[in-house]
């Protein structure tokens, strides 16, 4: 076991950004290897495609996991209505930025630019979160869970309802688009504009390597999301490494004791909840709405459980753990298996269409069909894997990857003041 322990020690001595960078590099490397293994002449473009998509996915899940970590990992608020708050953020932004004079058949909006629409979406998500929190935060954790998922579904049913698909109030037209969804100003199009404008030399260089323009845009969009993750991390770590964070942790442990020490816990809970919801709204726009189109079907509650899986894997209570958990989940459990399944053409060619034929091979001691069937259905099986991983972790290592770390909530160093160097280091 000491080899593993050695590696673990070395990893744990890395600073947090180093750990995250290492993870990212590792993921990119694995995908590049896969691309070159199966891509043939298309390999560079395939690799670029993989890297772009996984980075976008990773970035989105990182934002969501950080938000959920603030609510659940730090404050103990069990919110499984993540999809609902994503929808509030995405739909608010969509309504604000949809063109005021759209093409025929499209839903009209206020035509505002994205830099107004996105903060508007985040604000609305925070407000809805605050309104929901006011009566609900006094509920115990599992009841809050049920209320939040019920709320999430009500939100989805509401935006799906054709009664609000197109409205006209006081001469202003706007709407949710109902079941068919709504088109609005696309965040990735904005990024594409920059890439193809200022970054055109980069695009040309990439083309020279065989990488297509859209894949470059996708990679840059992914990196933009990572920048947003970095910004969120900056804000959140300042938030939790402070007296505010201390009170949140205390609330999670024992709210009554925290109150007995003079803290108005309701206020802290509402603030933490609202900030988390704002981030979820942001992720809703930048992830589900990246192409400038959203519909109710994209906001089913299932995504909440994926975010929870990411959080548990990474270790609830640790912000860096949240990012690593999101990376592990989205890249290794979600993205990679699906790509593996797609890129075994020789096996897929023979794959039976259904389970009976797959098992039939076992009768003559031939595992081939079953293996082929399994591989071609990996994108279904990966969710079984996620479920099993979740169970395994909760049973055997509930603190996840980094939850065991002692991360005291303070804004300054905590070493004894009369030590030789005269005082603790500041962060």
Partner 1 sequence: MGLAESVSDKRRLPVERPSVGVIGVTLVYLVADLAVKLTGTTVFAFGFRVIGGSLSVGGLFSMVLDGLLVGLAVGLAGIGLSMTYSILDFANFAHGDTVTVGAFLGWVAAYIVAGVGTDATLASLFLFGTNLQLSVASTLGPVLLGLVVAGVGTVAVVLLIDRLTYRPMRESDNISLLIASIGVALALRYLIAFVFGTQTSGVASSGAQFRLLPGLAITDNEIALLVVGAALMVGVHLLLQRTKLGKAMRAMADNEDLARVTGIPTERVIRLTWILGGGLAGIGGYLLVLESETIAFNFGWILLLLIFAAVIVGGIGSIYGAMAGGVLIGLVDSLALIWLPSGLTRAAAFAALIVVLLLRPSGIFGGVSTA
Partner 2 sequence: MSETVGAEAVREDVPTTSDAVDAPLLEVDGLRKEFGGVTAVDGASFRVAPGSFTGLIGPNGAGKSTTFNCITGIHDPTGGTVRFDGTDVTGLPPYTLAQRGLVRTFQIARELSEMTVLENVMLAPPEQSGESALHSVLPGLRDDVQTAEREVVEDAWATLEFFEIDHLAHENAGSLSGGQRKLLEMARVLSTDPEMVLLDEPLAGVNPTLEEKLLDRIDTLRQDGLTFLLVEHDMDVIMSHCEHIIVMHQGQVLAEGDADTIQSDDRVLEAYLGGDV
Applying CB under 8 A, the residues found at the interface with partner 2 are 235, 238-239, 241-247, 249-250, 252-254, 256-265, 268, 271, 275, 317, 406, 408-414, 416-418, 423-424, 426
The answer to whether the beta carbons of residues 58 and 330 sit under 8 Å apart is yes
Q: Output 243 or 387, the one with its CB closest to partner 2.
A: 243
The answer to whether the beta carbons of residues 77 and 71 sit under 8 Å apart is yes
Q: Output 189 or 381, the one with its CB closest to partner 1.
A: 381
For every residue of 5-23, DSSP letters joined together read: HHHHHHHHTS-HHHHHHHH
Q: Output 50 or 61, the one with its CB closest to partner 1.
A: 61
| 149 touching partner 1, by CB under 8 A | yes
Q: Output 119 or 368, the one with its CB closest to partner 2.
A: 119
Q: Which range of residues in 8-16, 111-119, 140-148, 186-194 is near partner 1 by CB under 8 A?
A: 140-148
Residue among 122, 67, 118, 73 at smallest CA distance from 235: 67
Q: Output 208 or 262, the one with its CB closest to partner 2.
A: 262
Q: What is the DSSP letter of 414?
A: -
Q: Output 244 or 344, the one with its CB closest to partner 2.
A: 244
d(CA 268, CA 239): 12
Q: Output 293 or 383, the one with its CB closest to partner 1.
A: 383
| 11 touching partner 1, by CB under 8 A | no
| 355 touching partner 1, by CB under 8 A | yes
d(CA 356, CA 368): 13
Q: How far is the CB of 394 from partner 1 (least distance, A)?
A: 5
Half-sphere exposure of 336 (CA within 13 A, CB side): 19
Q: How far is the CB of 255 from partner 2 (least distance, A)?
A: 10
d(CA 234, CA 228): 10
Q: How far is the CB of 24 from partner 1 (least distance, A)?
A: 26
Q: Output 249 or 382, the one with its CB closest to partner 1.
A: 382
What residues contact 34, with CB distance under 8 A and at least 6 apart?
50, 336, 339, 340, 343
For every residue of 240-296, DSSP letters joined together read: HSSHHHHHHHHHHH-HHHHHHTT--HHHHHHHHHHHHHHHHHHHIIIIITTTSEE-G
CB atoms within 10 A of CB 155: 22
| 136 touching partner 1, by CB under 8 A | yes
| 240 touching partner 1, by CB under 8 A | no
Q: Output 200 or 380, the one with its CB closest to partner 1.
A: 380
Residue among 153, 157, 174, 154 at smallest CA distance from 165: 174
Residue 167 C-alpha from the chain's centroid: 32
171 burial type by CB count under 10 A (0-12 exposed, 13-18 middle, 19+ buried) = exposed
Task: Give the residue, chosen from 43, 112, 153, 237, that forms a contact with partner 1 under the rule CB under 8 A.
Answer: 153
Residue 223 C-alpha from the chain's centroid: 14
Work out what residue 288 binds among partner 2, partner 1, none; the CB cut-off runs from 5 to 8 Å by kind: none
Task: Give the residue, chosen from 145, 195, 275, 372, that forms a contact with partner 1 under the rule CB under 8 A.
Answer: 145
Task: Give the residue, chosen from 367, 387, 408, 423, that forms a contact with partner 1 under the rule CB under 8 A.
Answer: 387
Binding mask 45-84 for partner 1 (x = CB under 8 A): ---------------------------------x------
For residue 315, CA distances in Å to 63, 130, 211, 278, 319 come to 15, 26, 37, 22, 9
Work out what residue 275 binds among partner 2, partner 1, none; the CB cut-off runs from 5 to 8 Å by kind: partner 2
Task: Give the residue, chosen from 106, 383, 410, 411, that forms a contact with partner 1 under the rule CB under 8 A.
Answer: 383
| 354 touching partner 1, by CB under 8 A | yes
Q: Output 138 or 238, the one with its CB closest to partner 1.
A: 138
Half-sphere exposure of 326 (CA within 13 A, CB side): 28
The answer to whether the beta carbons of residues 75 and 271 sit under 8 Å apart is no
Q: How far is the CB of 246 from partner 2 (least distance, A)?
A: 5
| 391 touching partner 1, by CB under 8 A | yes
Q: Which residues bind partner 1 (CB under 8 A)?
A: 78, 135-136, 139, 141-143, 145-147, 149-151, 153-154, 157-158, 160-163, 305, 308-309, 312, 354-357, 377, 380-384, 386-391, 394-395, 398
């Amino acid at each position: 076991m000491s080899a593993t322990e050695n590696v673990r020690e070395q990893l744990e001595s890395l600073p947090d950004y180093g750990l995250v960078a290492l993870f990212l590099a590792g993921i990119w490397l694995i995908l590049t290897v896969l691309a070159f293994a199966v891509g043939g002449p298309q390999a560079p473009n395939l690799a670029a495609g993989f890297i772009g998509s996984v980075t976008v996915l990773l970035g989105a899940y990182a934002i969501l996991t950080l938000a959920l970590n603030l609510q659940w990992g730090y404050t103990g608020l069990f919110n499984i209505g993540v999809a609902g708050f994503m929808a509030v953020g995405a739909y608010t932004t969509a309504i604000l930025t949809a063109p005021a004079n759209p093409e025929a058949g499209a839903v009209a909006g206020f035509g505002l630019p994205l830099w107004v629409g996105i903060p508007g979406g985040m604000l609305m998500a925070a407000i809805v979160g605050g309104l929901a929190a006011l009566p609900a935060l006094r509920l115990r954790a599992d009841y809050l869970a049920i209320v939040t998922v019920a709320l999430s579904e009500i939100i989805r049913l509401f935006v799906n309802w054709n009664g609000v698909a197109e409205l006209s109030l006081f001469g202003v037209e706007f709407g949710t688009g109902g079941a068919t969804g709504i088109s609005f100003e696309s965040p990735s199009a904005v990024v594409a504009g920059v890439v193809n404008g200022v970054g055109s030399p980069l695009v040309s260089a990439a083309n020279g390597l065989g990488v297509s323009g859209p894949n470059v845009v996708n990679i840059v969009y992914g990196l933009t999301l990572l920048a947003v993750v970095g910004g969120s991390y900056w804000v959140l770590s300042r938030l939790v490494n402070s007296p505010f964070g201390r009170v949140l942790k205390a609330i999670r442990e024992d709210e009554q004791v925290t109150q007995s020490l003079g803290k108005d816990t309701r206020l802290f809970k509402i603030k933490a909840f609202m900030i988390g919801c704002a981030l979820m709204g942001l992720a809703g726009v930048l992830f589900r709405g990246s192409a400038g189109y959203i519909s109710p079907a994209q906001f089913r509650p299932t995504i909440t459980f994926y975010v929870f899986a990411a959080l548990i894997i990474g270790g609830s209570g640790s912000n860096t753990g949240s990012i690593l958990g999101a990376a592990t989940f989205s890249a290794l459990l979600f993205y990679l298996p699906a790509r593996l399944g797609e890129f075994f053409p020789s096996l897929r060619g023979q794959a039976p269409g259904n389970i009976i034929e797959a098992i039939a091979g076992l009768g003559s001691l031939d595992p081939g069909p079953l293996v082929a069937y399994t591989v071609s259905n990996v994108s279904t099986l990966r969710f079984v894997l996620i479920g099993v991983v979740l169970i395994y972790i909760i049973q055997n290592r509930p603190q996840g990857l980094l939850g065991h770390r002692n991360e005291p909530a303070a804004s300054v160093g905590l070493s004894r003041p009369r030590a030789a160097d005269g005082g603790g280091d500041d962060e």
